[in-house]
Amino acid sequence: MAGARAAIRYAKAVLSLAQEQKLEDTVNSDMKLIASTIADNKELKLTLQNPVVRSSVKKSIVLEIFKNMNPLSAKLVDTLIDNKRISAIGDVASQYNMLYDQLKDTQIATVTTAVELSDDLRAKVLLKLKELTGKEVEINNVIDDSILGGFVLRIGDIQYDASVANKLSKLKREFTLN
């Protein structure tokens, strides 16, 4: 809990500095890359959380992996190292992305499909979501072949399940009740 609050505080501070310097878009790109890299790489996450690994080693690892990041993002790494909070960098990056999306009035929609969305279908879904929400929407396409076909759409706390697996499950429940 305390770590989550700290991550929010750091994210707010970085966003405030980025806005002052008109770099919020650039820093958002850095934070997306950091958040996704740490989420996808278990070894990196464990190394950053390991108290035995020296802070200087953690700093060099992070700076080597994210060579092309903005100086403001690099300053965040320095601050987290100085305050012995480098293990929270993934959480800080995720919180920054959420705050940035709120600032830009953007929502993230997760569309789970059995196969990759085509560009044409992605454009149609984006248009429909923008029409429904009245906000800018980004689509995160998750591929899960267990849904067999159709899609599952999640935006905010709303979920619409139009998957074949869900329909089959409903049919199975109906037959077992009768």
Write the DSSP assignment of 55-112 as a string of letters. HHHHHHHHHHHTTT--HHHHHHHHHHHHTT-GGGHHHHHHHHHHHHHHHTTEEEEEEE
Question: At which of 48, 82, 102 does a domain end?
Answer: 102
90 shares its domain with 13: yes
Question: At which of 85, 102, 119 does a domain end?
Answer: 102
Question: At which of 102, 129, 157 does a domain end?
Answer: 102
18 shares its domain with 59: yes
pLDDT at 33 over 90: yes
162 shares its domain with 90: no
Mean pLDDT of 16-31: 94
pTM: 0.71
pLDDT at 178 over 70: no
Q: How confident is the model at residue 26 (pLDDT cuts 50, 70, 90)?
A: very high
77 shares its domain with 134: no
26 shares its domain with 97: yes
More confident residue, 17 or 3: 17
Inter-residue contact 53 to 47 (CB < 8 Å)? yes
pLDDT at 3 over 80: no
| Domain with 75 in it | 2-102
Q: How many domains does the chain have?
A: 2
Mean pLDDT of 6-22: 94
- pLDDT one-digit tens code per residue, 54-110: 988 998 999 899 989 999 999 999 999 899 899 899 999 999 999 998 888 888 888
List all residues 6 or more positions away from 78 whose beta carbon is below 8 Å from its beta carbon: 59
- pLDDT one-digit tens code per residue, 132-158: 888 888 888 888 888 888 888 888 778
Given this model, what pLDDT does residue 11 score? 94
Beta bridge pairs of residue 160: 153
Given this model, what pLDDT does residue 137 score? 86
114 shares its domain with 71: no
Q: How confident is the model at residue 18 (pLDDT cuts 50, 70, 90)?
A: very high
- pLDDT one-digit tens code per residue, 154-171: 887 788 888 888 888 888
Given this model, what pLDDT does residue 47 score? 93
